[in-house]
């Protein structure tokens, strides 16, 4: 065997360097470097469910299952025979300006975007050739919502554009028929879900393909490994695309690309496989929900703390916003995003392009999380909340004599001392630069462990 081919074979690819439609081969593809570096993405759930904007994006399903809240809402506010499809006419998106979204996401410090192109209700947010009359061109906005956003993101920001796609469609008769046949027929998967997903990839060249709605049937029903082999071998984004792990029952946390596992996933410690925490600003819904109370929204401080923790454990944070039917990002969500961005502007060095260090959460100060620069020239100790008396105590760090300690956003070195296997750093007077509960990052060089 030619020695030059050895790494390819070891990586699970075929001799020709192509991926095969098997999990062994698909799983051998490394997560693209850019995704490791990006750390923070914005998720957008937007669609017909943003019209009633009550409960959550499962509105149609819950209503059809006769859940009281939804049945009463419809009874009290709409004529008796009103259908979910009729909401689509009110999905006008008349205030939608993709450039404004791009500005907000970029001010948030996000490095990738994942936007719903189709959720479980089947409505496509672009003129899909596979969703006749149930798409944004034919009913509602009267135009493509996705293409202009991809363009605004690419033209105005350094954000990578990505898409969410639901495999299943709750009430699609073809899907229901395959389900009735215990997935022995694949009409819906072969004629609808997969061709539409390929169309999305070809039209919008997303660098994240975030699959969902896969769980009722096995990957063999969807043809997931075949799709992924196409995506990695022959699609227009074959080299740079990152994918998640929702490709059929049993694949979460096990197959595909980076692991999302369950919604809002946060593991208890370092994960060697690249993972992502997909979660929401409104704790109770992915779609916009008019009845949300202020307390339901995560604060800026909570978002920053989550980001820091997640990154230290080898994750990315994908934080969701739900735009309104008019196409506005609710200002409370915009504010939270901009708060994260203002923190990242100063402290991004301790987040972006970092890699996990040997320790994640400090043994003495439980509010301290570690990262390290990818060239291993510095360790970052990120303090969530201001330490008492401005004395930062680190139990997991050993410093060489010539070590330096600085604080991001502050000029000059900080005084430190070592005793009883702890390092104590005297913080400069920076407690007022952020709001309470935000985080301060120390940059340490000369770390001896
Ligand atoms: C779930 C939900 C869905 C949401 C998604 C985001 O699978 O069904 O409404 O889009 O998670 O992670």
pLDDT in tens, 409-435: 999 999 999 999 999 999 998 877 777
| Nearest atom (ligand 1) to Cα of 43 | 6
Whether the per-residue pLDDT at 178 is higher than 90: the answer is: yes
Nearest-angstrom CA–CA distance, 98 and 145: 9
Q: Is 12 a domain residue?
A: no
pLDDT digits (tens, 9 = 90+) for 331-353: 999 999 999 999 999 999 999 99
Q: Are residues 229 and 363 in the same domain?
A: no
Domain hosting 405: range is 357-447
What is the rounded distance in angstroms from the CA atom of residue 348 to the CA atom of residue 437?
17
Considering the domain boundaries, does residue 1 fall inside one?
no
Nearest atom in ligand 1 to 56's CA: 9
* Average pLDDT of every residue of the chain: 95
Q: Averaged over 362-387, what is the pLDDT?
A: 97
Supply the pLDDT for residue 16.
63
* CATH at 180: 3.20.20.80
CA distance 396 to 364: 8
User: Which residue's alpha carbon is at the smallest distance from atom 1 of ligand 1?
Assistant: 263
166 CA closest ligand 1 atom index: 10
CATH at residue 380:
2.60.40.1180
What's the average model confidence in pLDDT over 241-260?
Answer: 98
Do both 333 and 426 map to the same domain? Answer: no
Regarding whether 407 and 345 lie in a shared domain, the answer is: no
Average confidence (pLDDT) over 47-56: 98
Domain count, the chain: 2
Q: Is residue 13 part of a domain?
A: no
pLDDT of residue 412: 94
What is the mean pLDDT of the segment spanning 99-114? 98
Q: Cα(262)–Cα(87) distance, rounded to whole angstroms? A: 30
In this prediction, residue 425 carries a pLDDT of: 98
Domain boundary pick from 317, 350, 383? 350
Among the candidates 350, 366, 382, a domain finishes at 350
- Residue owning the nearest CA to atom 12 of ligand 1: 263
On whether both 52 and 88 belong to a single domain, the answer is yes
Tell whether 395 and 278 lie within a shared domain: no
- Residues near ligand 1 with C-beta < 6 Å? 45, 57-58, 212, 263, 278, 286
Atom of ligand 1 nearest to the CA of 45: 10
Joined together, the tokens standing for residue 445 give 């060089």
Q: Does position 15 have pLDDT exceeding 50, yes or no?
A: no
Ligand 1: distance of its center to the CA of 27 in Å? 23
Ligand 1 mean position to 224 CA, how many Å?
A: 19
58 Cα–ligand 1 center, Å: 9
Q: At what angle do helices 98-107 and 146-156 cross, to 10 degrees?
A: 50
Ligand 1 atom with least separation from CA of 320: 6
Name the pLDDT band for 436 (thresholds 50, 70, 90): low
**Which mutation among 286, 287, 320, 322 tests ligand 1's pocket best, with the greatest number of atoms within 8 A of CB?**
286
What is the per-residue pLDDT for 8? 45
Query: Does residue 7 belong to any structural domain of this protein?
Result: no
Atom 6 of ligand 1: nearest residue by CA position: 263
- Dist. CA 354–CA 33, nearest whole Å: 11
> Ligand 1 centre and the CA of 327: distance in Å?
20
Give the pLDDT mean for 11-17: 56
- What is the average pLDDT across 278-305? 98
Please list, residue by residue across 83-97, b when 16 or more beta carbons sit within 10 angstroms of its beta carbon and e when fewer do. Answer: ebeebbeebebeebe
Same domain, 208 and 105: yes
Tell me, yes or no, whether 92 and 137 share the same domain. yes
Give yes or no: residues 311 and 414 share one domain.
Answer: no
- Residues 375 and 341 placed together within one structural domain of the fold: no
Q: Averaged over 234-244, what is the pLDDT?
A: 98
Domain-embedded: residue 6 = no
Q: Judge whether 3 lies within some domain.
A: no
Instruction: Give residue 391 CA to ligand 1 midpoint distance, Å.
Output: 42
CA distances from 125 to 6, 46, 95, 116, 142 (A): 44, 8, 16, 8, 10
Same structural domain, 295 and 160: yes
Query: Ligand 1 centroid vs 12 CA: distance in angstroms?
Result: 31
The minimum-distance atom of ligand 1 relative to the CA of 58 is: 9
Percent of the chain with pLDDT over 70: 96
Closest residue (by CA) to atom 8 of ligand 1?
213
Quickly state the pLDDT bin for 9 (edges 50, 70, 90): very low
Residues 100 and 205 in one domain: yes
* Residue 211 resides in a domain: yes
Domain final residue, candidates 304, 325, 350:
350
- Between the alpha carbon of residue 330 and those of residues 48, 281, 289, the distances in Å are 17, 11, 10
Does 315 share its domain with 395?
no
pTM for the model: 0.95
Report CA(310)–ligand 1 centroid distance (Å): 20
- 389 occurs within a structural domain: yes
């Amino acid at each position: 065997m030619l020695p030059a081919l050895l790494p390819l074979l070891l990586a699970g690819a075929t001799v020709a360097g192509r991926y095969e439609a098997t999990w062994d081969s698909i799983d051998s593809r490394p997560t693209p470097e850019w995704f490791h570096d990006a750390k923070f993405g914005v998720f957008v759930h937007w669609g017909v469910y943003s019209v009633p904007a009550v409960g959550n994006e499962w509105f149609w399903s819950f209503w059809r299952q006769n859940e009281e809240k939804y049945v009463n809402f419809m009874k009290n506010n709409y004529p008796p025979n009103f259908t979910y499809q009729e909401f689509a006419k009110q999905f006008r998106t008349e205030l939608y300006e993709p450039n404004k979204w791009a500005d907000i996401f970029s001010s948030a410090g996000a490095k990738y975007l994942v936007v719903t192109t189709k959720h479980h209700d089947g409505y496509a947010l672009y003129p899909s050739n596979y969703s006749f009359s149930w798409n944004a061109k034919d009913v509602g906005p009267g135009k493509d919502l996705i293409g202009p956003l991809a363009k605004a993101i690419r033209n105005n920001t350094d954000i990578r554009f990505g898409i969410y796609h639901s495999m299943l469609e709750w009430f699609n008769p073809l899907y229901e028929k395959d389900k009735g046949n215990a997935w022995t027929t694949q009409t819906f998967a072969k004629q609808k879900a997969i061709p539409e997903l390929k169309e999305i990839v070809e039209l919008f060249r997303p660098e994240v393909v975030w699959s969902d709605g896969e769980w009722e049937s096995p990957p063999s029903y969807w043809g997931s490994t075949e799709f992924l082999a196409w995506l990695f071998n022959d699609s227009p984004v074959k080299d740079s695309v990152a994918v998640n792990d929702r490709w059929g029952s049993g694949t979460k946390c096990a197959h595909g690309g980076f692991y999302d596992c369950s919604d809002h996933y946060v593991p208890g410690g370092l994960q060697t496989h690249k993972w992502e925490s997909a979660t929401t600003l409104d704790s109770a819904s992915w779609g916009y929900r008019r009845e949300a109370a202020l307390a339901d929204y995560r604060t800026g401080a909570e978002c920053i703390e989550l980001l820091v923790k997640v990154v230290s454990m080898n994750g990315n944070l994908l934080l969701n916003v739900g735009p309104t039917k008019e196409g506005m990002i609710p200002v409370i969500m915009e504010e939270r995003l901009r708060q994260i961005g203002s923190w990242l502007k100063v402290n991004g060095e301790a987040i972006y392009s970092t890699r996990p260090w040997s320790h994640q959460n400090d043994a003495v100060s439980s509010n301290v999380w570690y990262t390290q620069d990818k060239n291993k020239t510095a360790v970052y100790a990120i303090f969530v909340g201001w330490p008492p008396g401005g004395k930062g105590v680190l139990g997991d760090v050993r410093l060489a004599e010539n070590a330096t300690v600085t604080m991001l956003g502050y000029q000059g070195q900080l005084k430190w001392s070592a005793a009883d296997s702890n390092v104590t750093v005297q913080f400069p007077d920076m407690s007022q630069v952020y709001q309470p509960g935000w985080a301060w990052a120390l940059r340490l060089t000369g770390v001896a462990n």
